[in-house]
Amino acid sequence: MSQARKARRSPQSRPGSRSRSDRPATTRASRAVTSPAGSRDRDPGQDYFRWTSALFDHTKVFDKPEALRGIRVLELTTLVLGPTTADFLGELGAEVIKVELPPRGDTMRFVTPEGSFWKNASMGFFPENHSKYHVGIDLHANEGKSLFRQLAVKSDIMVENFRAGTLDSWGIGYRDMQEVNPRLIYVADSGFGQWGPFAQGRPSYDAVAQTVSGMIGISGFPGRPPILCGIFIGDWFGGLLAANAALVALHHRSKSGEGQLIDLAQSEGLVRALDWTWVRAGLTGGDRRPAGNRDESIGVADILECRDGHVALAAGSDAEFRGLCAALGMAELASDPRYATLEARQQPGHAVAVLGRVREWTKGLTRAEVETAAAKHGFAAARVATARDKYTDEHLRARGSVWDYEDPLYGRMVEHGPGPKLSETPARIKWAAKPVGWHNQEIFTRLLGLAPSRIKALTEQKVIGQWAEIPGARPPADWTPDHGRI
């Protein structure tokens, strides 16, 4: 049994791992949380939440099957867009083989906050590279391309995010892969798509996608420069769309037996997320302008200052607005014709006026006091949280959205847990990202049947390779070959 497979079964790498013998009893118990039949004192809400808590218990994730187990993804990507596509599929159980060009590998290995590395790893590389097998192949060499094609023959999905046409020019693009594996689903992530006037030869980064999509044009405050979104939103949302398309293509293949080419343009993914911005322009010719943190479609919604920080507050419905007025001690505002209905509050002048009153109210309160008032009176409010707030958040930890686990190479790891919670086939993280070429021996032996002598020869010819001795690509400083590769 491979060291990597042992690691997946290690109780240390599982939050609250239990044996499979526990599962039937757990499943029965989670479905039997009910009150006595006919009880008039039963609290349906409490029973429901107790039932869902047991049903989705994240300590039992590794006792349940994986939805995409048996599906293999071949990944040849860099930075964020392509890696997230494969990562979403891997969280759901697909086996992901990440091919990198040795010795430096994925550029994201060197994209890290303030140039800092943790145990020789980039903190920017971990979030989109969970549970993957890392292989180093020089794809400029003909023998390297041959190895890559052999892996493609044994794969269900291939993901790449090079500039449009690059892999085609290397002889490993969709048309080449289709010849060796007609069932292959080929996901081509890029900035601007695989065809069209803007597609050829143009690199893209997340900031470029935000700009081209029109997203930055509606950000920021009136009369001031646009503001870039603080995360790689084009990459993460694009990766989610691409992974979703790959699942649809798998479903189609199950009926037709045919693979297909998926073209995901990062900038167009963001266009799809810009709600009424483009619709309004197309139907009325009206252009959306920056409005700061105020939500123009809700009216009374903004980020507001408190004594100890900021809160997001929203009162969209008439009932919520009445509750907000009660909290303000200004119940009469709810019957004022300027504010009595959502349509009236959506008028810019009316919204700004009432938000001025709300702003003065929150300035004299703490974030907790605003949240308490919101819970009491039925409108929405939540403090602007920091990463530290979320790391210690009791709710997120209870749900497994803060994923605290032991990795065989890095030790204790804390990462974002999977987003969607599936009751019967939950997503999971099995191990952290690894150095360049970490799993060469296992993949080339297990999947391609190469003898150790052949792997050694290809390594000496630099067709197969591993990490450079630089931070970002190499293992932690205290690792030695004697420790093995888990």
Which positions are annotated as active-site residues?
235
In DSSP terms, 190 is beta-bridged to: 265
Q: Residue holding tokens 């997320």?
A: 273
Q: Which two tokens stand for residue 121?
A: 């790893």
Q: Which residues, other chains included, contact 398 with Cβ-Cβ below 8 Å and sequence gap of 6+? A: 53
| DSSP letter string, 276-315 | HHHHHHHHH-------TT--TTTSSEEEEEETTEEEEEE-
Q: Which helix (H) or strand (E) holds 371?
A: helix 367-377
> How far apart are the C-alpha atoms of 327 and 179, rounded to whole Å?
67
Q: Which two tokens stand for residue 56?
A: 């989705």
Q: Which helix (H) or strand (E) holds 152?
A: helix 142-153
> How far apart are the C-alpha atoms of 98 and 131, rounded to whole Å?
10
Q: Is the peptide bond before 225 cis (omega within 30 degrees of 0)?
A: no
> How far apart are the C-alpha atoms of 464 and 134, rounded to whole Å?
12
> How far apart are the C-alpha atoms of 325 and 65, rounded to whole Å?
50
> How far apart are the C-alpha atoms of 243 and 272, rounded to whole Å?
16
436, 473 contact by CB (below 8 A): yes
57, 399 contact by CB (below 8 A): no
Burial label for 26, CB within 10 Å (0-12, 13-18, 19+), is: middle
348-363 vs 318-328: helix axis angle to the nearest 10?
A: 40
**What phi-psi label fits residue 93: left (phi over 0), alpha (psi between -120 and 50 degrees) or beta?**
left
Output the CA torsion 190→191→196→201 (10° steps): -90
Nearest to 306 by CA among 265, 262, 358, 344: 358
Q: Which two tokens stand for residue 162?
A: 């090079």
